[in-house]
Amino acid sequence: MLVAEAGGVTSPGDGAAVEYDYRRETPMTFGDAVVAVERSIALHGFAVRTIHDIQATLAAKGFQIKPIRIYEIEGSPAAFASAGVPGIWPSGDSRFATLMPCRINVFMEGDRVVITALRPTLLCQVYPDAGLDTLAGAVEKAVLEIVDDFDGNAYRTVYTVRFSDAVYVLHAFEKRSEKGIETPNREMDVVRARLRMARDSRQAEADRKEGKEI
């Protein structure tokens, strides 16, 4: 079972809270959570650049603290394309490099293990003229999925907003992909079939209305 929370800071200008991280708590042991997070990082097409073991670093200096581990991770344009946003990162786009590395933190808070991700969209405020909004939003989506999926109990819902006056929920399924963040073909087949059904249903309804008006 996971408990979701959002961390934030208060802007002195308008008093509005700004979310800076995405947070999950788990009853797992710290060791089990670390293994699960590292597995989720790999399954989502990211690579670990650096691991900072803060507890070990401070212990070497004579300080004892609860375990804290910080992962600096990198994704690739190909990895994010498999999330359904192909072509958004032209080869050599420097904006993509600006968003890397992303950071996942695992630490103890009381008797609970907490997993957080720093939100890449915060960089849009740091570099307001860099045109990062679309990129940062897509990267953040992929990073947050690492946190959501780390314990293996993740689900996805697919819906369409192609119709102006209705939203159709086409499919919901447990995420079991072993190929990064790619949606399995069998699930996409269900989505495509139901989208065709939704289109046919809408067309039939439009035809009926047109017939009545005539």
For residue 65, give the CATH number of its domain.
Answer: 3.30.310.70
Count the domains in the chain. Answer: 2
* CA separation for the pair 22, 103 (Å, rounded): 11
pLDDT tens by residue, 164-179: 666 767 766 655 554 4
Residues 176 and 162 in one domain: yes
Q: Specify the long-range contacts of residues 125-134, CB closer than 8 Å, at least 24 apart.
A: 125/18, 127/98, 130/95, 130/98, 131/95, 132/95, 132/98, 132/99, 134/88
Please identify, among 119, 136, 153, the residue that sits at the C-terminal boundary of a domain.
153
Task: Enter the pTM of the model.
Answer: 0.61
Q: pLDDT, tens digit, for every residue of 22-47?
A: 888 888 899 999 998 998 888 877 88
Amino acid 211 reads G
- Whether 74 and 101 have beta carbons less than 8 Å apart is answered as yes
pLDDT at 7 over 50: no
